[in-house]
Amino acid sequence: MSENQASLTAGGNSVDMPIKSGTIGPDVIDIRKLYGQTGMFTYDPGFTSTASCDSAITYIDGDEGVLLHRGYPIGQLAEHSSFMEVSYLLLNGELPSSQELADFSRTITRHTMLHEQLATFYRGFRRDAHPMAIMCGVVGALSAFYHDSTDIADPTHRKISSHRLIAKMPTIAAMAYKYSVGQPFVYPDNKLSYTGNFLKMTFGVPAEEYEVIPAVEKAMDRIFILHADHEQNASTSTVRLAGSSGANPFACIAAGIACLWGPAHGGANEAALNMLKEIGTPDRIQHYIDRAKDKNDPFRLMGFGHRVYKNYDPRATVMQSTVREVFAALNVQDPLFETALRLEEIALSDPYFAEKKLFPNVDFYSGIILSAIGFPTTMFTVLFALARTVGWVAQWNEMISDPGQKIGRPRQLYTGPTARDYVPLSDR
Ligand code: SDX
C-alpha cells in the first residue's frame, strides 16, 4: 500500500483507496469506488467524518479556532474589509482593486429594487407571520419573476442571478420587517452603502429623513461579514444538494433559508437571546448550566457548541467586542450582556463544557447587538440569511461550475421489513 493510499479490509475483500490532500486541513480518503468493490456503503449520519466536495472558498480549523475566506483570516476581514469587498472575494477568489470594488458595489446597488408585484406576496401573510416564513416564500418566488437568469448552464445567467440574490435580500428582509410592524415599505436608496441602505429600508419611515449612524452601519456591516460563509454547514450543504439537481438558484437559496431557520443552526441567535431573557439575572445562571448538563433535560445552552469548532469561534470574539462598540455608539446598556459574559465565564470553567469542548459560537452575542440596534428577535435569523446568501451563492457557483459535479444521492442502512406479500383487508 503506497503512502497516499488507504487500505480497507471488509467482508474478506481488501480495498485500496486513494488519499487526496488539499492545500491545508485534513486529507480525505476517496471512497467513491468502495461500493463497487465491496458492496458496502460507508455510514456517517450527520456527516461527522465526511467531506462532501472540494472547495476553495472557506477553510475552518476547529481545533485552532481558525476561519479563512479565500485564505484571509476572518479577524482581519472583520477589522479592515467591508461586506461588499468580502462578497467580491468569496465570489471571485481575490480581493478587488478599488475599481473592481466600485463596479461590483454599483452593480449590486442597481439590483436592490424588487419587482413591484412581489410586494403583493407580503399581503398574503398574517402580520404576525415569522419573517423567516416570509423569506422562504418570497425568495422561492423570485424565480417566477426573473426567468431571464435561471439558465444555470449559462455563466452570465449565473452571475446575474447571483447579483440579484445578494442585492435583493436586504430589500426582501426589510420588507418582511416593515410588514410585521404595519409600516409602509421603504424603497432602496442608491446613494447609500449596501448596509446603510438596508438600515434605512428597515428603520426609515416616509414621514422623516433617516440618518444612518456610521458606527451602527459599521457594526452591522461587520456582522454581515461574520455571517457570510462557513464551509459546508447544514444550510450550505442544502443549497449544494438542491443545486446538484439543476434547480434554479432562487429555489436553491430558498432551500438554504429553510434549513438555516432551525434552532440548531441559524435559528440559534434568536434562541440564544430568548434563553438569556429567560435566565434574566446572573444568579439564575447555575440553574440553566445544570439543566444543560442534565442528560434527561433537552435544554441546551443556545449559542454554545459547534460541530467543527472545538475552540472559541473566532466570530464570537469579534461579536463580543462589537457589543461594546454598539453600546457606546448608541449610549445604551443591556444587563443581558453582563449575564451573557457571566454565563460564558461559568460555563467555560465547568468540566462538562471543557471536556466536551463547548465554546460560545457566532450566535451567542449577536442577538444582544441586534437587539440594541432595534431588531426584534424574530429578525435575527433573517439577518443571518441575508449575510449568508453570498456564501450560499459562491458555493453554488463553485459546484455548478465544476464539470464533474453529479447529483447528490446518498444511500442508507436499511432497517425496515424484508419483502412480504400484501394481506387483503378482509384478512387483517
Ligand atoms: C451555527 O456548521 C456551521 O458552521 C454552523 C454555523 C454557520 O456559520 O453556518 O457556524 C452556524 O449553526 C452555529 C451553531 C448554532 N447552534 C447552537 O448554538 C445550538 C446549540 N448548540 C448545539 O445544539 C450543538 O452544539 C450543535 C448543534 C451546534 C453541534 O452539535 P453536534 O456537533 O452534533 O454535537 P452533539 O449534539 O453531538 O453534542 C456533543 C455533546 C453532546 O453530549 P453527549 O451526548 O456527548 O453526552 O455535547 C453536548 C451534547 O449533549 N452539547 C451541548 C451543547 N452542544 C452540544 N450541551 C449543552 N449545551 C450545548 N449547547
Q: Are residues 91 and 196 in the same domain?
A: yes
104 and 24 in a common domain = no
> 136 and 47, same structural domain?
no
pLDDT under 50 in the chain at which residues? none
- How close is the Cα of 277 to the center of ligand 1, in Å? 20
The reply to whether ligand 1 has any atom less than 6 angstroms from the CB of 179 is no
Residues 87, 185: one domain? yes
Q: Is residue 94 part of a domain?
A: yes
The answer to whether residue 428 is domain-embedded is no
CATH code for position 217: 1.10.580.10
In sequence order, the 6+-apart residues with CB closer than 8 A to the CB of 213 are 329, 330
316 and 212: one domain? yes
The residue whose CA has the least distance to atom 40 of ligand 1 is 356
pTM for the full model? 0.96
In sequence order, which residues have a C-beta less than 8 Å from that of residue 219 and are 6 or more positions away? Answer: 322, 325, 326, 329, 369, 373
pLDDT digits (tens, 9 = 90+) for 64-95: 999 999 999 999 999 999 999 999 999 999 99
Same domain flag for 346 and 239: yes
Closest residue CA from atom 28 of ligand 1:
306
415 within a domain of the structure (yes/no): no
Residues 136 and 18 grouped into a single domain: no
Residue 27, in any domain of the structure = yes
Regarding whether 157 and 14 lie in a shared domain, the answer is: no
Our count of domains for the chain comes to: 2
Residue 41's CATH number: 2.20.28.60
Say if ligand 1 is within 6 A of residue 343 CB: no
CA dist., res. 179 & res. 173, Å (int): 10
Percent of the chain with pLDDT over 90: 96
Non-local (6+) Cβ contacts of 313 within 8 A are 65, 306, 359, 360, 361, 362
Q: Give the whole-angstrom CA distance, residue 373 versus residue 220.
A: 9
Q: Could you tell me if 20 and 85 lie in one domain?
A: no
In a domain, 13, yes or no: yes
Ligand 1 neighbour 268 (Cβ under 6 A): yes
Catalytic-residue membership of 163: no
- Give 73 Cα–ligand 1 centroid separation in angstroms: 23
- Catalytic site includes residue 147: no
**422 is a domain residue:** no
Q: Decide if 73 is inside a domain.
A: no
Are 34 and 126 in the same domain?
no
Give the Cα separation of 367 and 369 in Å (integer). Answer: 5
Residue of 306, 313, 334, 350 marked catalytic: 306
Comparing CA positions, the residue from 296, 288, 297 lying closest to residue 344 is 288
Q: Which domain holds residue 285?
A: 80-402
Give the pLDDT confidence score for residue 1 in this predicted structure.
52
**Do 138 and 27 share a structural domain?**
no
Q: Which cell numbers in the block locate residue 343?
A: 454565563
Q: Is the CB of 305 under 6 A from ligand 1?
A: yes
Ligand 1, from 306, 362, 365: best to mutate by most atoms within 8 Å of Cβ? 306
Return the pLDDT at 224. Answer: 98
Q: Distance from the CA of 20 to the center of ligand 1, in angstroms?
A: 28
If asked whether residues 36 and 94 sit together in one domain, one would say: no
Q: Is residue 19 part of a domain?
A: yes
> Which cell goes with 54?
472540494
pLDDT at 359: 96
Residue 239 CA to ligand 1 centre (angstroms): 21
Distance between Cα 401 and ligand 1 center (Å): 32
